[in-house]
Chain A
């Protein structure tokens, strides 16, 4: 069987198969986490990212590969979570750019598109590291370019690409010593290999395999009707403390403007449109490209909003919800609605349940600064809020916020300058990517990689100082604070010169495992011994959900004896997975 070209339908079925293959194996990808901690997340992140792209593609698949790839790229970009997810979104962004305007492509163009994806991803990452998904994609694309000169069969080409990707993946432990030490291959690279496997199997199965969804969909019945309900970005306990009548901008509206359809009377002007929406509304999100504008607004006057939108084109997928009505229902239900993100394929990237706390100034009152932070655990979120953080996104580990979650958070703050504290090295890229999606906003992503670094930075913030002074002070605070995290190992491994047993506790100092013991208290003691220098520092203890009070008391007593000059502060962090998080400064 030979296949000489790929069109939009082919591409769609490849992507769907790829996503499916990744979904089936996401737990395996998770297990490749270098640290033996119970929060491996690369599989989950890539899976959610891919699902966001696929959802978009299901709705707007086209017979043209150029259009299909563009749709996928947009979905991925907004849904990107975690570093691997962001890189994945950049790979397809480059791919899409390369096939723009083409209805179908041949093997040479396919190879060139893969190569362009790699070039784009390398550019997007500030410091590319070899031995990761980047390397796997690079080796595979290079080989594709080579093979494409020798065969016109895209199936054969894809076979070769997959083989090369697997080879590169197997080689990652030779490039990243830490992988070799632990005895795993790179998790993101593995995820990409699964996607390529899906690509190949879709091509091998041929036309018969094209799922219904691959045909341009007019109405997608499979889509959750709950999209709008869930898009209320903050269904949480705090909301039940609001009085229903306090909801001023009560109509939650979401719709799309198709700029090329209908009788557009005006050229779309985003700034002007935003201003118009702000007249009687807040929580405004406008994401525009040349063809489509996505609009979200809480408005008093939904009719006016729609009339205004009609000036620019045809309106599709209109969802309007009365929030007072919803709020009354919420109160009737007991008020505590926990957002439950679902996995592929039900995930809808337009749904953002991640905003825990929103303090929205009225649209006309521009605060000079806004801070967005990422936290895990209610206690930690409360501390961030008490330090003046405007929006706390949940999800430090197993569920990283997506690029779109950040975009929504940014859009909902009407401040002149916004600081983002990602508080996890795997969230920084998504935060940076969000910044590029709202070019009209002034956003600084600070290099906070741990909760203690985020807290120190938030503490250093001063409302009445300039952006530069604040950025410097916060970066200094980040560099100065020592971070410690304690959890248990999920497997036997040897890392950082330590022999780690499954089920034993491990203490991570900044990003290195420095202590491991069967006993939790001893592990904490070993870790604190590394973190505390003079003995007169301030030690903040964030107690996790899994920590027992007796353990905390034992630890506190030990610290009082061992470090009599230290100032120890104990707070309920409420974080999962990590029994204790320590900050020493």
Chain B
């Protein structure tokens, strides 16, 4: 019985402790402030990043890992003939990261015919801890000895059951980074509009609703979750960048409305942060 290793990229925003606990291997994306390049969650931590974001004159840009970044890691892990890899990544609709991993796979398949079966690359069709959780779950299952097919099945189920909404302060960052997806229709109003965003089944950002004002946005998010989870026991994962109080406001209201089994928090890292801005609050809910 072989060993299953889980690989991901840095945009899953998985807390460092969990990553270390489950020995999840992570390939970083890169964030650039002008000529200065940082490796997401390796050479730059979220707190430093948001400080830079405020002080820097130019907005940062990001870049995906190169196929080489992936192939080196894949080769290292697959050198053990009993090892299989499940490599889970940021939505292919938002980033070339998945594509890069796929290229890496095709590059190394020439080295060893067994690599094709032993390496599975998954498009999470989600972002941030929306798939970070999926990665942690996969690692936990792997540790418990679940088969590759069993883990892949669990991932599919997770993708179907998960619900997420996120709030941004402004659509400016999503628009500049070109990740606005189908939410572009909310753009351009002169009023201070708070869009409520989500990621659809194809892994693309879309606007669920638009409201005026932060407080209305928070209560609207709670209302939206009610549609799917009213009366159900749920697990909440919450991500934030700098607006912890808004996130706590959502959690408090969620606790009033739902049977909340557990809550976990994460910080949104620099790559996702580049594309949503420091005002982001994301709430991920899964039924238990």
A386 touches B191 (CB 8 A): yes
Interface mask (A435-460 → B, CB under 8 Å = 1, otherwise 0):
00000000000000000000100010
B184-199 CB contacts (< 8 Å) to partner A: 185, 188-193
- CB of A382 within 8 A of CB of B190, answer yes
Cα A567 to Cα B169 in complex, Å, equals 13
Top 7 nearest A-B pairs (CB, nearest first) are A538-B213, A386-B190, A386-B189, A567-B213, A383-B190, A538-B212, A569-B192
In the bound complex, what is the Cα–Cα distance between A550 and B210 (angstroms)?
A: 33
Return chain B residues, CB-CB under 8 Å to A459.
189, 191, 193, 210, 212
CA distance A571 to B193 in the complex (A): 14
Main secondary structure of the interface of A (DSSP, over half): mixed
Contact: B191 with A540, CB < 8 Å?
yes
Q: What residue in chain B is nearest A463 (Cβ atoms)? A: B185
| Alpha-carbon distance between A536 and B216 when the two chains are bound, in angstroms | 10
Interface positions, chain A 457-479, Cβ under 8 Å from B, are 459, 463
How many Cβ-Cβ contacts under 8 Å join chain A to chain B?
33
In the complex formed, the residue of B with least CB distance to A572 is: B190
Q: Once the chains bind, are A567 and B215 in contact (CB under 8 Å)? A: yes
Contacting B191 at CB < 8 Å: which of A383, A463, A536, A537?
A383
- B188 surroundings in chain A (CB, below 8 A): 386
A537 to B212 alpha-carbon distance, docked (Å): 10
- Give B residues with C-beta under 8 Å from A: 185, 188-193, 210, 212-216
- Contact partners of A567 in chain B: CB under 8 A: 192, 212-215
Query: B185 — nearest CB in chain A belongs to which residue?
Result: A463
Most buried by B among A387, A538, A585: A538
Given A459-B212, A567-B214, A569-B191, 19 other A-B residues pairs in contact with their CB atoms under 8 A: A382-B190, A383-B189, A383-B190, A383-B191, A386-B188, A386-B190, A386-B191, A455-B191, A459-B193, A463-B185, A537-B213, A538-B212, A538-B213, A540-B191, A567-B192, A567-B213, A567-B215, A571-B190, A571-B191
Chain B residues with CB under 8 A of A537: 213
User: Distance (Å) between the CB of B206 and the closest chain A CB?
Assistant: 11
The interface of chain A, by Cβ under 8 A from chain B, is 382-383, 386-387, 455, 459, 463, 536-538, 540, 567, 569, 571, 585
Could you pull out 18 A-B pairs where Cβ atoms are within 8 angstroms? A382-B190, A383-B190, A386-B188, A386-B189, A386-B191, A387-B189, A455-B191, A459-B193, A459-B210, A459-B212, A536-B215, A537-B213, A538-B216, A540-B191, A567-B214, A569-B191, A569-B192, A585-B212
Closest to B189 in A: A386
Residue of B nearest to A387 (CB): B189
**B189 proximity list for chain A (CB < 8 A):** 383, 386-387, 459
Smallest CB-CB separation from A585: which chain B residue? B212
Chain B residue at smallest Cβ distance from A540: B191
Q: How far is the CA of A567 from the CA of B217 in the complex (A)?
A: 12
Q: Which residues of chain A are within 8 angstroms of B191 by Cβ–Cβ distance?
A: 383, 386-387, 455, 459, 540, 569, 571
Tell me the minimal C-beta distance from B278 to chain A in angstroms.
18
**Chain A, residue nearest B190 (CB):** A386
A382 to chain B: which residues have CB within 8 Å?
190
| Closest CB in chain A relative to B3 CB, distance in Å | 48
Query: Across the interface, which residues of B come within 8 angstroms of A387, CB to CB?
Result: 189, 191
The distance from the CB of B250 to the nearest CB of chain A, in whole angstroms, is 16
Measured between beta carbons, the chain B residues less than 8 angstroms from A386 are: 188-191
CA A324 to CA B213, docked complex, whole Å: 45
B214 contact set on A, CB distance < 8 A: 567
B-side contacts of A571, CB under 8 Å: 190-191
Q: What is the bound-complex CA distance between A537 and B185, given in angstroms?
A: 25
B46 to nearest A CB, angstroms?
27
Q: Closest Cβ of chain A: how far from B229's Cβ, in Å?
A: 23
CB-based nearest B residue for A384: B190
CA distance A463 to B182 in the complex (A): 13
Min CB gap A34→B, angstroms: 32
Complexed CA–CA distance, A101 and B254 (Å)? 73
